[in-house]
Amino acid sequence: MKKEFLLLSAALLLCAGCSSSITYKDASAPVEKRVEDLLSRMTREEKILQASQYICGENDNVNNIIDNQTDYPAEIGSLIYFGQSVEYANHIQKNAVENTRLGIPVLLGFDVIHGYRTIFPIPLAQGCSWNPEMVRQCCSIAATEAYSSGLRWTFSPMIDIARDPRWGRVMEGYGEDPYATSVFCRAAVEGYQGGSLADEGTIAACLKHYVGYGASEAGRDYVPTDISDQTLRDTYFPPYKAGVEAGAATVMSSFNTLNGTPTSGSRWLLTDVLRGEWGFDGFVVSDWEAVMQLIYQGVAKDKAEAGKIALEAGVDMDMVDWIYRDNLDSLIRSNAVKEKTLDEAVRRILTLKFRLGLFDKPYTEERPEAERFLLPEYRETARAAAGESMVLLKNEGGILPLSCDTRVAVVGPFADSPENMNGNWTAKGRSSDAVSILSGVRKEFSNIVKTRRAEVVICCIGQPQGATGENCSYSTIDLPEDQEKLVIDSKKAGKKVVVLLTNGRPLALSRIEPYADAILETWHLGSEAGNAICDVLCGKTNPSGKLCITFPYTSGQIPIYYNRRPRSRNYDMGVYQDITIDPLYEFGHGLSYSSFNYSEISLAPVEGGKFEAKVTVTNDSKVDGSEAVLWFVSDPVCRISRPVKELKFFEKKMIPAGESREFVFEIDPSVDLAGIDAAGKPVLEKGDFIISCGPRSATLSY
């Protein structure tokens, strides 16, 4: 294999010096010219295959079971590549480049969601870090590892706003807030795509699942969603618009029927809004078999009609179901579909291949895995990211951090469970690479004992990683009874109880909360989970995460989120008769070992019609710590009933013990105060606005 690569490189070197007389092969020609030249040479069959995606290798996604596949036309436009052998990836490319008439390279894609081999915290956890730079770094490392295996495309970031924790895919996104999700989306796109898609180590991003998939009814997957135009505009669209502005190369159309029209067949969504309004110039891929599912969704009578609807709506590439391959030719021949509609889709796909530099450098250097994966600096980033993603929900009497000679018992189903540290969608991550909680704790704590002798019982509870992800809906978000019993019994036995939660969704903790002295939400933290958790337990890391999603008091409160619109009767009206209407832990909640004091906010006009809101935060403890300041805007009177509070800016800073830092929110009224109406027009009306920030600034009467 090594030899083969050397030969390929030599061939490339020879080519590098010469500019081809065939325009599309000429690396110095502008991309548009190359695309048009190539398109003009393609047969319809070749075009249709460019617009088709199939898979290569064995899919380990239990929801998309398909036999190990190595049989696909060499002219295929894209493959979901399940292997991690770079040699095989080069073999696929060689077949496409050397054994086909036009030599068009294949676009190899994969679900690289929170790491490729080095696994980072699940996106929901990353959202709790309030550190977009960290998200960018994680995505950049993921891109480097994936690229080294021959991949050039990831189906990430997932930017569906999700407000129902029973929906399993809540773990894949950044929570309930459109602004925060937009910021993390931008960071992820920048991390994957880097400065230029042509650079080594960068891969194309894919914004998914467009759109409204996260508004799942009753927490179930694949069901229709109903979202008003107003809420689509002010809540579900913004992260996609932000991703388009950040230059995301592709978008994935979702599974759901939205307001009566399946999104994968909606020209309004895929063309009018995405391209017309936002100027998206990449290509759209359907979700897995989403074109065929137009039949099940009741808008297409057969596969041919499904293909016509999807292509004309704006789905450029058909994932896996072969609908385009089997139907587009006859549709075009019978004039049911225009050839130029297909040309347009292929033009977009080829444009990305050229932008990625695939035509000029289709092969990937074949290096041993040890040089490509889990490098010490990758693990270091994973540990730091995990440290920032945990949320300290409760810390009664400052029980945490523990001194390292405390007699601790580490119990519960996730105490020594490397197979649950990574979380769902772990690409090529392995449990054997992940540090379990116990392995981490053993490195610092010298007195690990059985429960009877312990001063502190560390209860490691939650949900296995297979409980969240695609098709992982639950009817409630309760913990299993035996786990609750573990916490309650430990407390009743006179122990101090520290609860460590391993999970991918908010859980209902109100039954155990009174029995826990401390609760640390650790999510699924990835390869360095155990080490990072131990860092927090022993105080090497001061927790700084804050929730990017509300933790309901019970499942019955769902959906519950901070940025709801005001209700018509306030005070004690419209409340539950049996439980509180307040969540257990609100959006933005998260404790620290430091204590932070916020000054009054000052507001002053600055240049360009803008304002500056300033707050000084003082760390009046003896421990250095980081604080994320979340800034909210409210518009109490507007012709649109706007959410009671809307996050508009956030920033995290390290504040050494005893010191203060100033946080500044520069307010551009047209961006930060304006709302948007149901037609997509900005609405900025005269009147008062309320600017707030503070440790519990999202708190409001629910």
Which residues have a Cβ under 8 Å from the Cβ of 21 and sit 6 or more positions away?
Answer: none
Decide: is 528 part of the binding site for ligand BGC (CB under 6 A): no
SS (H, E, C) 204-272: ECEEEEECCCCCCHHHCCCCCECCCHHHHHHHHCHHHHHHHHCCCCEEEECCCEECCEEHHHCHHHHHH
User: What is the C-alpha separation between 457 and 445, in angstroms, rounded?
Assistant: 13
Choose one: 19-27, 61-69, 276-284, 540-548; the region binding ligand BGC (CB under 6 A).
Answer: 61-69
Report whether 401 contacts 593 (CB < 8 A). yes
Nearest distance from C-beta of residue 71 to ligand BGC, angstroms: 19
CA 85-88-89 angle, to 5 degrees, is 90
Decide: is 61 part of the binding site for ligand BGC (CB under 6 A): yes
Q: Interaction with ligand BGC in 109-128: which residues (CB under 6 A)?
A: 111
Which residues have a Cβ under 8 Å from the Cβ of 288 and sit 6 or more positions away?
Answer: 63, 64, 319, 320
Decide: is 69 part of the binding site for ligand BGC (CB under 6 A): no
Decide: is 240 part of the binding site for ligand BGC (CB under 6 A): no
Lay out the site mask for ligand BGC across 470-489 (x = CB under 6 A, - = otherwise): x-------------------
Decide: is 63 part of the binding site for ligand BGC (CB under 6 A): yes
Decide: is 660 part of the binding site for ligand BGC (CB under 6 A): no
User: What is the C-alpha separation between 631 and 294, in angstroms, rounded?
Assistant: 42
DSSP classification of residue 540: S
Residue of 64, 85, 595, 618 interacting with ligand BGC (CB under 6 A): 64
Q: Which of 651, 676, 655 is nearest to 665 (CA)?
A: 651
Whether a cis peptide bond, with omega within 30° of 0, leads into 656 is no
Count Cβ atoms below 10 Å from residue 663 Cβ, excluding itself: 23
Choose one: 60-68, 184-192, 367-375, 410-418; the region binding ligand BGC (CB under 6 A).
Answer: 60-68
Q: Interaction with ligand BGC in 590-609: which residues (CB under 6 A)?
A: none
Task: Name the residue nearer to ligand BGC (CB basis): 320 or 337.
Answer: 320
Residue of 176, 287, 318, 672 interacting with ligand BGC (CB under 6 A): 287
Decide: is 54 part of the binding site for ligand BGC (CB under 6 A): no
In degrees and rounded to multiples of 5, residue 467 shows phi and psi of: -85, -15
Residue of 166, 208, 325, 428 interacting with ligand BGC (CB under 6 A): 208
The per-residue DSSP string of 505-538 comes to S--B-TTTGGG-SEEEE-----TTHHHHHHHHHT
Choose one: 59-67, 142-150, 348-356, 540-548; the region binding ligand BGC (CB under 6 A).
Answer: 59-67
Decide: is 586 part of the binding site for ligand BGC (CB under 6 A): no
Here the tokens at position 58 are: 């064995």
The per-residue DSSP string of 265-319 comes to G-HIIIIIIIIIIT---SEEEE-TTTTTHHHHTTS-SSHHHHHHHHHHHT--BEE
Nearest distance from C-beta of residue 288 to ligand BGC, angstroms: 4
Q: Is 198 left (phi over 0), alpha (psi -120 to 50) or beta?
A: alpha
Locate the DSSP E strands across 68-156. 78-81, 107-110, 153-154
User: What is the C-alpha separation between 541 and 585, in angstroms, rounded?
Assistant: 22
Choose one: 58-66, 95-103, 177-185, 259-267; the region binding ligand BGC (CB under 6 A).
Answer: 58-66
287 is catalytic: yes
Nearest distance from C-beta of residue 320 to ligand BGC, angstroms: 8
Nearest distance from C-beta of residue 105 to ligand BGC, angstroms: 21
Helix (H, G, I), strand (E, B) or coil at 190: helix
User: What is the C-alpha separation between 211 and 153, in angstroms, rounded?
Assistant: 20
Beta bridge partners of 55: 80
Helix (H, G, I), strand (E, B) or coil at 451: helix
* Residue number, nearest CB to ligand BGC: 155
Nearest distance from C-beta of residue 63 to ligand BGC, angstroms: 5
Task: Name the residue nearer to ligand BGC (CB basis): 62 or 606.
Answer: 62
Task: Name the residue nearer to ligand BGC (CB basis): 213 or 359.
Answer: 213
Task: Name the residue nearer to ligand BGC (CB basis): 236 or 288.
Answer: 288
Here the tokens at position 132 are: 């977009």
Nearest distance from C-beta of residue 287 to ligand BGC, angstroms: 5
Beta bridge partners of 286: 253
Task: Name the residue nearer to ligand BGC (CB basis): 250 or 389.
Answer: 250
Decide: is 523 part of the binding site for ligand BGC (CB under 6 A): no
Residue of 155, 363, 378, 561 interacting with ligand BGC (CB under 6 A): 155
Decide: is 288 part of the binding site for ligand BGC (CB under 6 A): yes
Decide: is 241 part of the binding site for ligand BGC (CB under 6 A): no
Task: Name the residue nearer to ligand BGC (CB basis): 110 or 120.
Answer: 110
Task: Name the residue nearer to ligand BGC (CB basis): 64 or 641.
Answer: 64
Nearest distance from C-beta of residue 550 to ligand BGC, angstroms: 24
Nearest distance from C-beta of residue 426 to ligand BGC, angstroms: 13
Nearest distance from C-beta of residue 425 to ligand BGC, angstroms: 8
Nearest distance from C-beta of residue 154 to ligand BGC, angstroms: 9
Task: Name the residue nearer to ligand BGC (CB basis): 287 or 521.
Answer: 287
Choose one: 56-64, 140-148, 581-589, 593-601; the region binding ligand BGC (CB under 6 A).
Answer: 56-64
Task: Name the residue nearer to ligand BGC (CB basis): 472 or 667.
Answer: 472
Q: Residue 423 carries which side chain, given as an amino acid letter?
A: G
Q: Which whole-number Å values give the CA distances from 491 to 416, 488, 515, in the listed order?
A: 21, 5, 6
Annotated active-site residue in 160, 234, 287, 535: 287
Task: Please identify which residue in the block is written with the tokens 């929570």.
Answer: 175
Nearest distance from C-beta of residue 684 to ligand BGC, angstroms: 36
Report whether 433 contacts 117 (CB < 8 A). yes
Decide: is 190 part of the binding site for ligand BGC (CB under 6 A): no
Applying CB under 6 A, the site for ligand BGC has a residue count of 9
Choose one: 57-65, 385-393, 573-581, 647-655; the region binding ligand BGC (CB under 6 A).
Answer: 57-65
Nearest distance from C-beta of residue 470 to ligand BGC, angstroms: 5
Q: Interaction with ligand BGC in 624-643: which residues (CB under 6 A)?
A: none
- The DSSP bridge pattern shows strands 257-258 and 250-253 to be unpaired
In degrees and rounded to multiples of 5, residue 357 shows phi and psi of: 75, 15
Interface contacts to ligand BGC, rule CB under 6 A: 61, 63-64, 111, 155, 208, 287-288, 470
- Residues acting as catalytic residues: 287
